[in-house]
Chains A and B, each alone.
Chain A
Amino acid sequence: MRIVVIGATSAIAEHCCRLWVAREACDLVLVARDAAKAGRVAEDLRVRSPASTVTVVEADFLDTSAIGRLAAETAARPVDIVLIAHGMLPEQSLCENDLVLCRDTLEVNAVSPALFAEAFAGHFAKAGRGTLAIIGSVAGDRGRKANYTYGACKGLVARYAEGLEHRFAGTGVSVVLIKPGPTDTPMAASHRASGRRLASVEEVARAMVRSIDAKRPVVYAPAQWALIMFVVRHLPRFVFNRLNL
C-alpha cells in the first residue's frame, strides 16, 4: 500500500500509520510542516515495520503551487490512500479577539485541506482509483459558540468532501470523511477543563482505518457521536440557543 499523509505529526494520523504498518509493509510519505518532528514519527514507524518505506516531505501547507507540485510528485507513482489530517485548534475566544489568528485558523483548517484534497483528486481522477480520507470533526456539524471558527472550517471540509464524493460517484475513487468526537490528542486536550472521558487516539485511529478499508463516505468516531450529532443538528433554534454547548 502506498499512503500519503498530510499532517503526519497529528496524533490521529500518526496512530493510523502505526495501524497500517502493523498490518503489512507500506510505502508511507509523511508530509509535515515540521520535518524534524515528522522524522521522529518516521523513525518510530521504521522500528515498528522494518520492511516499510517511510519518507518525510517538508511542506508549506498554504502555498498553492507547492501543494500542486507535491501532489504531482507523489502521485507520479500510484497512491492508494491520501489522508489529510492537519489542523490547529485555538481557543475560540482568542479567534474572536485576534483576526490574524482567526484567519490562520480558517486557512490551516479549511482552505489548506480543501486545496490538498483538490490537488490529489485530480491525480486520482486520472488514475481512476484511490481513497481520499479527510479528518473532519463533529464540531463541523453545527456552529456553536464554544468553537465556531474551528467548526466552520470543519463544516467547509465536510461540504468539500461531499462534493468530491458526488463527483467520483460510480468511479474507483472513494472519499471518506471521518468526524472524530473530542479526542485525547495534544491538540484538543490542552483546552479541556472537564474530567469528561475523551476518546483515545488509538480508538479513533482504529475506526478511521476500518472506515477507509470499507470506503464509508461519512463516519463518526466513536460511533455514538452519530446519534449525538443527529440530535444536536435537529434541535430547534429556540432550544439550541439556550443551551450552553
Chain B
Amino acid sequence: MRRVSSWGRLSAFPHEVIELGDRSKVAAELARGQPGIAYGLGRSYGDACLNPDGVLWRMAGLDRFIRFDEASGQLVCEAGVVLRDIQRLAIPRGWGLPVLPGTQFVTVGGAIANDVHGKNHHETGTFGDHVKSLRLLRTDGQEIVCGPAERPDWFAATVGGLGLTGLIVEAELQLRRVPGPWLDAETIAYAGLEEFFHLSEESHPAWEHAVSWIDCTSGNAVRGLFMRAKPAAGEHGTWRERRLAMPLVPPISLVNRLTLKPLNQLYWAMNKRYLGRRIAHYEPFLFPLDGIRDWNRLYGPAGFYQYQCVVPREVGSDPIREMLGAIARSGDGSVLAVLKTFGDRWPFGLLSFARPGVTLALDFQNRAGVETLFERLDAIVAAAGGRLYPAKDARMPRSMFEAGYPRLGEFLGYRDPGMSSAMSRRLMGS
C-alpha cells in the first residue's frame, strides 16, 4: 500500500498501486477482480483519481508513441503519454495539440476522461473533439474501440467519463498545423466585468487564446488582466525552461487571509510589465504554473480546494458578480483566479464540463469554514443553471452534480462495475 494524494493534497490515503507498463498485460491486471481507477499524473484536484484502500492502476509507464503520420497529423499513442511530450514531438514537425489545459503535465487518458479544455475553447472545443478513436478495456475482459464515428455512444460516455467506463489504453488524436512554438500575445488591464465581456467578444475570432486573471480581493471594483494570444510564425530566439520548485511543504499555507491581498497585489504588479503586445513562447503563456514544480505545496499540509464553475451566458454577468462579492466578503480567495468565456460548442461527452458560458476558477486554502463559502457559491451556480468541474472538485454535493449533469442517467448505463473512485462513490453512489 502506498499513500497517494491528488493535486489538491487534501488527503493521503493508502492505495494498492499497480504499475502498468506493458499494454499487452493490461487486460490481465484488470481481471484481478478488485475495483479500481486509473491514475495518470494525479493532476485532478480532488478525488476523481483516488480510491482509498483500493486499487489504482498507474499509467505513467504506458507512455509510448505508437504511430505518427506527419502528412495527416494523426497520432496514435498509449494513454499514459504526457501532453508535454506530444507537444515537444510534434511542434518541430509543424503540428500541435489543438486543446491544451492549464498544465501540460497531464496524460492523454486523463485529458480524455476529464474532457479538458484550454484557453482556446472558443476555437477548438474540448480535448474530446480531437480524439478520432480510443481503445477501452473493461474489467470483464471486453475491448471496445470507439470514436465519434464508431460506437459513438461508448465514445460519448468515455469522453469526460472520469475513467468509469473502463481503462483507456490508447488513443488516436488528430493534431493540427501550427507555425511553431511562438505566440503573438497581448495583455490588457480591465476594470469591471462589462469590460471583460467586451474584451472577450472583441477577441473572437482573431485571437485564438483568451483568458483573464482577476483580482478576487478587489470586491466590487473588479480589476483584472486580460491575456490573449495567437500563433506567430517565424523564429523568435530561444526559450529556456525554468526549473523552479517548491522544495518543501511549509507548516502553514503561504496563501492565507493575511497574505491574500498582498499576493494579489504582487501578481498585479509583476504582470503589469507585460501590458501590451509581445512574442511569447507557448509554454510559459499557456502553462504559467508549470514553471514551478510542486507549486501545490504552497498551500501547506492541509492542501487546498479548487472551485471551477461554468454558468450560461444568457444569465448575464450577475452570477459572476455575486460570486466575486461572496468571495470578497468571506475573506477567502485565491491568487490565481481565472475568468474566461467558453465558445458555443457543446461537448461530445455525456459528463463533459465545458459548455457555452462563462467559467470562473479559484483556489481556496483548506481551512475550517471554507465549506460555508462553497455552499453559497453552489447556490449561485445552481440558480444560474450552471455546473461544477469534476476534475477540480473534492466536495460538491450529489444534488449539485445531478442538477449540473442532466445526462448522468444515460451515462450510468455505460459504467464498468469494476471501475470505482472516491468521486464515483461520492457522486454516483458506487
Within 8 A of A (CB), among B177-228: none
B19 touches A47 (CB 8 A): no
Within 8 A of A (CB), among B31-76: 58, 60-61, 64-68, 70
Counting CB contacts under 8 A, is A41 at the interface?
Answer: yes
A40-B64 CB under 8 A given contacts A47-B89, A189-B17, A190-B17: yes
Contact check, B65 vs A44: say whether CB atoms are below 8 A apart: yes
Interface stretch of the complex, out of B20-28, B311-319, B371-379, B404-412: B20-28
Instruction: Enumerate chain A residues within 8 angstroms of B70, measured Cβ to Cβ.
Output: 50
Which residues of B sit under 8 angstroms from A43, Cβ to Cβ? 64-67
A: number of interface residues (CB 8 Å) = 19
**Complex formed: what's the CA distance from A70 to B378 in Å?**
66
A-B contact count (CB 8 A): 46
> Is residue A99 within 8 Å, beta carbon to beta carbon, of the partner chain?
no
A193 touches B1 (CB 8 A): yes
Interface residues in A44-59 by Cβ distance below 8 A to B read: 44, 47-48, 50
Complex contact A47–B17 (CB within 8 A): no
With both beta carbons as reference points, the residue of chain A lying nearest to B21 in the complex is identified as A186
Please, which residues of chain A bring their CB within 8 A of the CB of B4? 195
A75 at the A/B interface (Cβ < 8 Å)? Answer: no
A195 in contact with B2 given A40-B23, A190-B17 (CB within 8 Å): yes
Contact B2 A192 (CB under 8 A): yes
A189 touches B19 (CB 8 A): yes
Residue A36 interfacial (CB < 8 Å): yes
> From A37, which residue of chain B is reached at the shortest CB distance?
B22
B3 within 8 Å of A by Cβ? yes
**Within the assembled complex, what's the spacing in Å between the Cα atoms of A40 and B88?**
20
B12: Cβ under 8 A from any A Cβ = yes
* Size range of the chain B interface in the assembly: 20 to 34
Residues of A within 8 A of B89 (CB): 47-48
A187 to B69, CA, bound (A): 33
Q: Say yes or no: B65 contacts A193, CB within 8 Å.
A: no
B64 and A186 within 8 A (CB): no
Q: Are B66 and A11 in contact (CB under 8 A)?
A: no
CA A43 to CA B67, docked complex, whole Å: 8
**A-contact 0/1 string along B62-103, CB 8 Å cutoff:** 001111101000000000000000001100000000000000
Contacts of B60 in A (CB 8 A): 184
CA distance A234 to B220 in the complex (A): 64
Question: CB distance B65 to A195 under 8 Å?
Answer: no
Interchain CB contact under 8 A, B61 and A47:
no
**Option from A11, A192, A193 in Cβ contact (under 8 Å) with B61:** A11
Find residues 11-38 in chain A having any chain B CB closer than 8 Å to their own CB. 11, 22, 36-37
Q: How far is the CA of A43 from the CA of B68 in the complex (A)?
A: 10
Q: Are A47 and B21 in contact (CB under 8 A)?
A: no
How many angstroms between the C-alpha atoms of A189 and B65 in the bound complex? 23
What separation, in Å, do the CA atoms of A189 and B89 have in the docked complex?
A: 28
Given contacts A11-B21, A37-B22, contact A47 B65 (CB under 8 A): yes
Write the nearest CB–CB distance from A236 to chain B, whole angstroms: 30
- Determine the distance from Cα of A237 to Cα of B24 in the docked complex, in whole angstroms: 47
Known contacts A193-B1, A195-B3; A186 and B65 CB within 8 A of each other: no
Q: Give the complex CA separation of A50 and B88 in angstroms.
A: 15
A194 to B4: give the CA distance in the assembly, Å: 10
| Segment 168-216 of A: residues with Cβ below 8 Å from B | 184, 186, 189-190, 192-195
- Report the separation of the CA atoms of residues A195 and B9 in the bound assembly, to the nearest whole angstrom: 12
A residues near B, CB below 8 A? 11, 22, 36-37, 40-41, 43-44, 47-48, 50, 184, 186, 189-190, 192-195
4 new A-B pairs (CB below 8 Å) besides A47-B66, A189-B17, A195-B3?
A: A43-B67, A47-B68, A190-B18, A194-B2
19 A-B contact pairs sorted by A residue (CB < 8 Å): A11-B61, A37-B22, A37-B24, A40-B22, A40-B23, A43-B65, A43-B67, A48-B65, A50-B70, A184-B60, A186-B19, A186-B21, A186-B61, A189-B19, A193-B1, A194-B3, A195-B2, A195-B4, A195-B5
